[in-house]
Amino acid sequence: MGISEIREQIDSRREEYLRTLFTLLKQKSISAQNIGIDECCNMLKNFMETIGIKTRRIETEGNPILYGEIINDPDDFTLLIYGHYDVQPPEPVEEWNTPPFEPTIVDGKIYCRGAGDNKGQIMAQLLAVKSYLEVEGKLPINVKFVIEGEEESSSKNLAGFVEEYRDMLKADLVYTSDGPMHSSGTPIVLLGVRGILYVEITAKGADWDNHSGNKGNIVPNPAWELVQLLATMKDKDGHITIEGFWDNVRQPTKKEQELIKTLPLDTKQLAEQIGYKDFNMTAEEYYRKLTLEPTLNIAGFHSGYGGEGSKTIIPSKATAKIDMRLVVDMDPNEIFDKFTKHVKKYAPGVEVKRLGSMKPSKTPSDSKVVEVIGKAVGKSYNCKPVLQPCMGGSLPDYVWTQILAAPSVVVPYANYDEANHSPNENIGVDNFFNGIKCTCQVIQDLGAAFHR
Amino acid sequence: MGISEIREQIDSRREEYLRTLFTLLKQKSISAQNIGIDECCNMLKNFMETIGIKTRRIETEGNPILYGEIINDPDDFTLLIYGHYDVQPPEPVEEWNTPPFEPTIVDGKIYCRGAGDNKGQIMAQLLAVKSYLEVEGKLPINVKFVIEGEEESSSKNLAGFVEEYRDMLKADLVYTSDGPMHSSGTPIVLLGVRGILYVEITAKGADWDNHSGNKGNIVPNPAWELVQLLATMKDKDGHITIEGFWDNVRQPTKKEQELIKTLPLDTKQLAEQIGYKDFNMTAEEYYRKLTLEPTLNIAGFHSGYGGEGSKTIIPSKATAKIDMRLVVDMDPNEIFDKFTKHVKKYAPGVEVKRLGSMKPSKTPSDSKVVEVIGKAVGKSYNCKPVLQPCMGGSLPDYVWTQILAAPSVVVPYANYDEANHSPNENIGVDNFFNGIKCTCQVIQDLGAAFHR
């Protein structure tokens, strides 16, 4: 017996495995709208139990979390697989080509809300365990599952859950399959996420808009106040100048710097994808900025008149929404304090409101476990994966690397054009089955490398 | 015969004069909506002819202008009275306490669209000529009237008209009654207006909004570009730093500097009126800033997300609307060139669009004619008028001071709370009759001082 028998078994079950996935996809589970959460959670729990995973439904202040485990020997290597059963709302429904909760295969892709994000990927992992058990009788490592129900609503209760169940969740590696593969079609192993701090700043002038002629230069203008405040936060080269902002930015390791140089980039494809034809960074510059540097982004700035033509007013209010992407070891609380201190210094009347935050997270690229995962993924896809030190976006990965203190890797199974969060979300049929096979290879290779 | 007989005659005609005004007020003449313009113009022409003013209706590319004259001797002193017969739209109609085109007297005020702006004031001037002629048989000076029909739509054709009819319009003084008296209730003589230049600047990034995580610090942010550009236009004390902006600002004369010190200001009343309780300028500082200094005002700034909560995007576009109030001898064309040059230097990709402009205008405060007007107004109201070197807002006054090359004064007759451009526009019954009397005094005193 071995991986090739398992792969054959998977190929022989295509109809059955697709039906299993479709059953889960048809069950709505929209956390933002509180639709179908309970039903979906119970359906998934039942399925996990039928394949031999001991599963608990654990209540939180929000939606329940499913915890499952197959423990052969508590002292053996333990893989924790993380995913979510909730999905984004389907709106705008009129932009879907097929009904959003009716899984439909068109040109080799399964279209359905949740197909890629995340039901198709979590189901690939569960079916991998099922196939492995059917062929081999047992797994070579311990496997745990944490499948939450509010990832699409900021994972509000995940950190508390991990805190509370730290002992139960103890693992040697956390493994997530979410998001798309590399734009080149190559598999990718992501070793971290950027954190985020989201603030809103508001300047107020008079109690109402005033006439800019009859009241011009006697009433303060809050739009000017925000412009002048924001201008103190970056120098003319765009470098962030908030005092202490860069203090805890961890310098990339030599290995990371080398990794950055190996990452592929199709400049033209990216330029089209972002709608910016003048994009001309080198691959190295692109990945360095995206994965190793923080940002200070104006996501919105609104004040005064914005309609057609001219209106001569002094606005009474100006508001800017700012998000900062944070890299390790920046702490959102500390950055918030530094940001607030900066505002107090340059524009003491401006209000700062904190709208949300998430810590950055990183797993060292030079560990044995990352090497094993990289090789397993490469073997399964017959293609060397891209090893990226960090993703540009933010996920609650810190609950694993910081609260659970385990390394964490993200290995996406979905196609690059999965359209997650958008109409016509999909996952390639091949992506689904390759994901099942890749999970089996990972389990196999982790066992071979770490079985105690 | 003399001014007291004329005043008595005016008092004896209260009912008739109110009826005359009401007839004009009931005739809609909304230039922005092209309602009733023709009818109102003809009604006013007929009325002017019945009182002995030789009147022509002169067509323009927009609404017709009424030109009227009573010439005794072409070489004698000539007063040109300027006003307008068009009115603002009445919307929002539901906020009116009485029907907007049904003149209604409540607590000593006539409520109607156009009551203060400008039918009540222009009618006061016409009825002054009527009363003067009835009592005295003839006027002691030549009087000309220019009553246009699109003042509420930017006086688009006034400059061209004055250019074309410069000889016919030749005058020794232009006299306008529009807007409200001083907030203290004191009459006011305004000797100039600030000009205006209105521009819209737009920065563009990618063709659509991008995700601030996955695309953060690789896609340019146009909101940042505008913030950094605008910040180069003022120093941290708020002083405008566009190169050459201040070049042609005419220094106030000694007389103007003295005038500024005499102007009354009720700080508390103004603070309430502008909705800014922290207002604490001295009267001198207030009038200096309002009348002798230019502005660079952000009337609007819009980019990216402005709704509730957070959205993590890099906006694809940012737009700011900017109005600059200009003092003599700043030229809007030159300022536009300097503004554009500044943008090209600091943010060459930013588009500059010119939305409108009007030149500043000023009449010297130390001329004989201004002295005569000040005294006549003081005599008529039995109260020394406020002599203000300039108003904060903008009017097409330059067509008189620059194209016609005549001094020009604005002597408002309406009460301070006339609510022009707003629901419940009104003029005090007393303001209306005092305006008739004041115009008679002005005609009388100009004759006494300048009759050749």
A351 assigned to some structural domain: yes
Question: Taking CB atoms and an 8 Å cutoff, what residues of chain A touch B416?
Answer: none
Which pLDDT value is given to residue A205?
96
Question: Taking CB atoms and an 8 Å cutoff, what residues of chain B touch A207?
Answer: 275-276
Residue B160 and residue B19 share a domain: yes
Which pLDDT value is given to residue A216?
84
Residue B103 and residue B51 share a domain: yes
Residue of B nearest to A395 (CA): B213
B285 assigned to some structural domain: no
**pLDDT tens-digit readout, A228-272:** 999 999 998 999 999 999 999 999 999 999 989 999 999 999 999
Residue A125 and residue A219 share a domain: no
* Residue A306 CA: distances (Å) to CA of A312, B92, B377: 11, 20, 43
**A305–B304 C-beta distance less than 8 A:** no
Decide: A196 and A295 in contact? Cβ < 8 Å. Answer: no
Give the Cα separation of B89 and B91 in Å (integer).
6
Question: Taking CB atoms and an 8 Å cutoff, what residues of chain A touch B313?
Answer: 299-300
Q: Which of A358, A387, A408 finishes a domain?
A: A358
Q: Phi first, then psi: what are they for A318, rounded to 5°?
A: -140, 135
Residue of B nearest to A211 (CA): B393
A243 assigned to some structural domain: yes
B276 assigned to some structural domain: no
Structural domain total, chain A: 2
Residue B188 and residue B199 share a domain: no
**pLDDT tens-digit readout, B390-434:** 999 998 999 999 999 999 999 999 999 998 888 999 999 999 999
Closest CA to B189 of B443, B417, B438: B438
Residue A78 and residue A159 share a domain: yes
Question: Taking CB atoms and an 8 Å cutoff, what residues of chain B touch A240?
Answer: none
A220 assigned to some structural domain: yes
- The enclosing domain of B230 has a CATH number of 3.30.70.360
Give the Cα separation of B373 and A354 in Å (integer).
60
Chain A: give the shortest CA distance to residue B315, in Å.
6
Q: Classify A75 as helix, strand or coil.
A: coil
Residue identified by tokens 């333990």 is A78
Residue B205 and residue B124 share a domain: no
Within 10 angstroms of residue B219's Cβ, the number of other Cβ atoms is: 25
Residue B78 and residue B143 share a domain: yes
**pLDDT tens-digit readout, A269-328:** 999 988 999 999 999 999 999 999 999 999 999 999 998 888 889 999 999 999 999 999
> For A152, which DSSP code?
G
**A223–B227 C-beta distance less than 8 A:** no
Q: Which of B324, B343, B358 finishes a domain?
A: B358
Structure tokens at B263: 């102007």
Which pLDDT value is given to residue B452?
79
Is some CB atom of chain A closer than 8 A to the CB atom of B301?
A: yes
Closest CA to A444 of A75, A6, A55: A6
Residue of B nearest to A239 (CA): B217
Mutate to test the interface with A, among B224, B270, B286 (most CBs of A within 10 A): B224
**A220–B289 C-beta distance less than 8 A:** no
Chain B: give the shortest CA distance to residue A128, in Å.
29
Is some CB atom of chain A closer than 8 A to the CB atom of B133?
A: no
Considering only the beta carbons, identify the residue of A200, A217, A356 that sits closest to B290: A217
Residue A413 and residue A317 share a domain: no
- The enclosing domain of B75 has a CATH number of 3.40.630.10
A331 assigned to some structural domain: yes
**How many CB pairs lie under 8 A apart between chains A and B?**
223
B267 assigned to some structural domain: no
Which pLDDT value is given to residue A73?
95
Report whether the peptide linkage leading into residue B76 is cis, meaning its omega lies within 30 degrees of zero. no
Residue of B nearest to A193 (CA): B213
Mutate to test the interface with B, among A156, A298, A397 (most CBs of B within 10 A): A298
Residue of A nearest to B276 (CA): A206
Instruction: Please give the model's pTM, rounded to 2 decimal places.
Output: 0.89
Considering only the beta carbons, identify the residue of A213, A238, A310 that sits closest to B393: A213
Residue A108 and residue A29 share a domain: yes
Residue A226 and residue A135 share a domain: no
B437 assigned to some structural domain: yes
Residue identified by tokens 């006549």 is B376
Which pLDDT value is given to residue B451?
82
Decide: B65 and B140 in contact? Cβ < 8 Å. Answer: no
Is some CB atom of chain B closer than 8 A to the CB atom of A52?
A: no
Residue B11 and residue B25 share a domain: yes
> Domain range holding B331?
195-249+293-358
Closest CA to B52 of B119, B122, B134, B120: B134
CB-facing half-sphere around the CA of B397: CA atoms within 13 A: 29
Q: Which of B328, B358, B388 finishes a domain?
A: B358
DSSP string, A293-344: ----EEEEEEEE--SSS---EE-SEEEEEEEEEE-TT--HHHHHHHHHHHHH
Residue B301 and residue B219 share a domain: yes
The complex scores an ipTM of: 0.89
Closest CA to A432 of A8, A20, A5, A2: A20
**Which residue type, as a one-letter code, is found at position B182?**
H
Interface of A with B in 223-282 (CB under 8 A): 223-224, 227-228, 230-231, 234, 236, 238, 274-276, 279, 281
**A212–B299 C-beta distance less than 8 A:** yes
Question: Taking CB atoms and an 8 Å cutoff, what residues of chain B touch A290?
Answer: 214, 216-218
User: Which residues of chain A fall below pLDDT 50?
Assistant: none
User: Which residues of chain B fall below pLDDT 50?
Assistant: none
Question: Taking CB atoms and an 8 Å cutoff, what residues of chain B touch A311?
Answer: 299-300, 321
